[in-house]
Amino acid sequence: GCVLVVSVIEQLAQWHNSTVKAAVERLCNYIPGKYQIICHMFCCIDREMNADVVCHSLKLCKQDPGQPLCHLYPPPKVSWFSIFFQSYKLWKKIFEGFSSVCAFPLLDNLCEKMKYVIRNKLPFEDFDGDKFSTFPTLRGYHWRGRDCNDKNTTVYPGRRPDNWDVTSDSNCNGIWGVDPKDGIPYEEKFCKGADSQGVVLLGDSAGAHFHIPPEWMTVTEMSAKSFANLPMAFTDELDWPQFSEITGFLNSTIGGWTDSLYLRLRQRNRCNHRDLQNISQNGGSSGNLLYLIKSLARNQLLDYPAIVIYATIGNDVCNGNRDTLAHMTTPKEMLSNVVQALRYLDTRLPNGSHVILTGLVDGRFLWDNLHDRYHPLGQLNRDVTYSQLYSFLDCLQVSPCSGWLTPNETLRNLTSERALQLSNVLKEIATSEKFANFDVFYMDFPLRQTAEEWRKMGGEPWQLIEPVDGFHPSQIAAALGTSITWQKALREWPQVLGKENPFNGQIQAIFKDQGGH
């Protein structure tokens, strides 16, 4: 992170032919409000100090005994030690008393909120404790359907209506009251027997839709508008679930377009409005999902059934360890983890629910399509390729996937082999395990079909990968993946999707007449 920020500052100075100090001020003026404190940390950069030197001297990058010195750029011509010593003296007073970024004034309260949501995966602003919120970020309604009464714990998205919602909207789908023409409650008239159901994602950073905007580090296009979404992105953990493949519901502002399983279910049955939960986390795997799943909000007696997508598509084989193969999930561990999760779901999901297990991705696609391309940081001077970035992260032992983001073809193949083994475990579970409250299906992660579809549309495969991290599916990949998944479900499991609600047109017409959305 430090290297990225300092690189941007140095490139801003180059692009605008200014001093580094002026570039820091320019960047600080772009960044909104309280977040400027992070920018001012880098007030003392000197032109002789490249990003690696600055970040090592800040102790944000370190070199343990016996480990290589990690750097993204070529080493400076003068000795590292002399520049480190010079830099350290400059920063010692600035950082004295601050053990971390969160110790800075203005950021400490925000960091406490972030720690809460990262630890609990529940909305920070939830006054009635029903796990739903009227606040968008900090695990609010970007992640779960928006609460319509945050002072009443019995009112939340996904519940069966209370007395057909004659007097109020108990399930937040916007349908309540009585038709004056015949005295029948709208909820009963339009939603009774309509196979209403919610959608829940249990997943990882791909499912949460991790995204670092490339305009944050493309100095040729940078302006104050580039960072307008910084506060929202930070308080959503750099995830964008509101645009994601499973639970997206807003028009994308990060490129591409939004298409999601939730939107398609809602289009099929307007009574499903707001019934969504994205229970994902960066780094999610079959192991830590056993804790994450406890934040699910579903009452077996009071709520509608749900379609649950179980999709940890990479982290069971991805880690940043040098001996990466030794730290991958084994087939035996995968079987145990997933069956435990399904047994827990059987105690929480209403009868008539469905679970779809998604296989792991073949991540060789990443190296094959990106390794020799320039990263956004390297586009100005044509000096940083994805291969260099991957090597830098691997050296720091923070690579998101040492097994796939490597020039070692043998290791890439072994990682894909393990991923296939784990996918086969999921496939076997879907055919052999039975549960009281839901049936289980399996589907491969549709990367190959997505790439083929994108080529037909005139696109290039590298555009399906997030440009900054070079690892996650892009917005385009997410939207195309939804279409492919939906078509498969229509062909093979139509019972999962529920029937088309014949009253959708009437519901929409009433909303339009009343000025609703």
From 100, 29, 71, 163, select the one nearest 394 (Cα to Cα): 71
* Distance, CA of 441 to chain centre: 23
From 141, 130, 2, select the one nearest 61 (Cα to Cα): 2
Q: What is the dihedral of CA 292, 296, 301, 305, to 10 degrees?
A: -110
- 287/292 Cα distance (integer angstroms): 9
What does each C-alpha distance from 465 to 310, 318, 362, 367, 391 come to in angstroms?
21, 16, 13, 11, 18
* Distance, CA of 37 to chain centre: 26
Determine contact, residues 260/188, Cβ cutoff 8 Å. Answer: no
226 annotated active-site: no
Determine contact, residues 187/193, Cβ cutoff 8 Å. Answer: no
At 283 the three-state DSSP class reads coil
Residue 434 has a CB neighbour count (10 Å cut-off) of 8
Cβ within 8 Å of residue 103, ≥6 positions away: 97
Q: Which of 133, 205, 387, 402 is catalytic?
A: 205
User: What secondary structure does DSSP assign to 207-218, as a single string?
Assistant: HHTB---GGGS-
- 424/168 Cα distance (integer angstroms): 47
Per DSSP, helices labelled H in 96-185 are 108-120
Query: What residues are annotated to the active site?
Result: 205
